[in-house]
Amino acid sequence: MPPLEIEKKFLVRASALPSLGSGTRMAQGYLASTATSVLRVRRSGDRAWLTLKGPPRGDVRDEFEFAIDAAHAQTLLQEWCHEGVLGKVRHRLQHAGWHWEVDVFDAPNQGLIVAEIETTSLEELSRAVAQRPAWVGREVSDDPRLTNAALARRPLQCWPETERLALLAELA
């Protein structure tokens, strides 16, 4: 059986968010992406990965991740990711025994903050979501505009003003 990603994604209410600290800076781009699968390159400092994600089946999808040389990743990000590269700082927060990942996006997605909860089973995912922290807002797991691949292709800054402002209002 292939490795699985079991997760949900949410908007974050910035005003209720605790202090985040420095976090981990990441750059990621997409070598290929469709409505059902992606091939991503990610670099964080001197570490880098290629990740292949299969079609979602509800909150579950196949995910294969391979460590690669950071210099190779930088070349891929600069020369192969033609639809854009997004930057973000990832923070890990503990809540009720669960590790939440909070991504604070750089320009041109500045202002966007999302949280993901990833578990090893659907039962754990259900429990973690039921006990989610107050700073976790609306679930956006199924919003195609807010996948990282979509944000690389069409950043928040390029959205129509009314659509962008409505989303940013949810983050206040």
Model confidence over 105-141: pLDDT tens digits?
999 999 999 999 999 999 999 999 999 999 999 999 9
Instruction: Check whether 172 has a pLDDT greater than 90.
Output: no
44-54 core/surface letters (b: 16 or more CB in 10 A; e: else): beeebbbbbbb
Rounded distance between C-alpha atoms, residue 85 and residue 50, angstroms: 14
**How many alpha carbons lie under 13 Å from residue 27 in its C-beta half-sphere?**
15
Angstrom distances, CA of residue 137 to CA of 18, 115, 129, 132, 170: 14, 9, 11, 9, 8
Rounded distance between C-alpha atoms, residue 102 and residue 26, angstroms: 12
Tokens standing for residue 74: 């930088």
Model pTM?
Answer: 0.94
* HEC profile of 121-161: CHHHHHHHHHCCCCCEEEECCCCHHHCHHHHHHCCHHHCCH
- Catalytic, 116? Answer no
**How many alpha carbons lie under 13 Å from residue 28 in its C-beta half-sphere?**
26
Active-site hit among 5, 29, 30, 152: 30
- Going by C-alpha positions, the residue among 102, 84, 85 that lies closest to residue 93 is 102
Model confidence over 65-97: pLDDT tens digits?
999 999 999 999 999 999 899 999 999 999 999
- The reported pLDDT for the residue numbered 1 is 66
Residue 163's Cβ-count burial label (10 Å; 0-12, 13-18, 19+) is exposed
Q: pLDDT-based confidence at 22, cuts 50/70/90?
A: very high
Q: Enumerate domains of the chain plus CATH numbers.
A: 4-170 (2.40.320.10)
Q: Identify the H or E element spanning 40.
A: strand 38-44
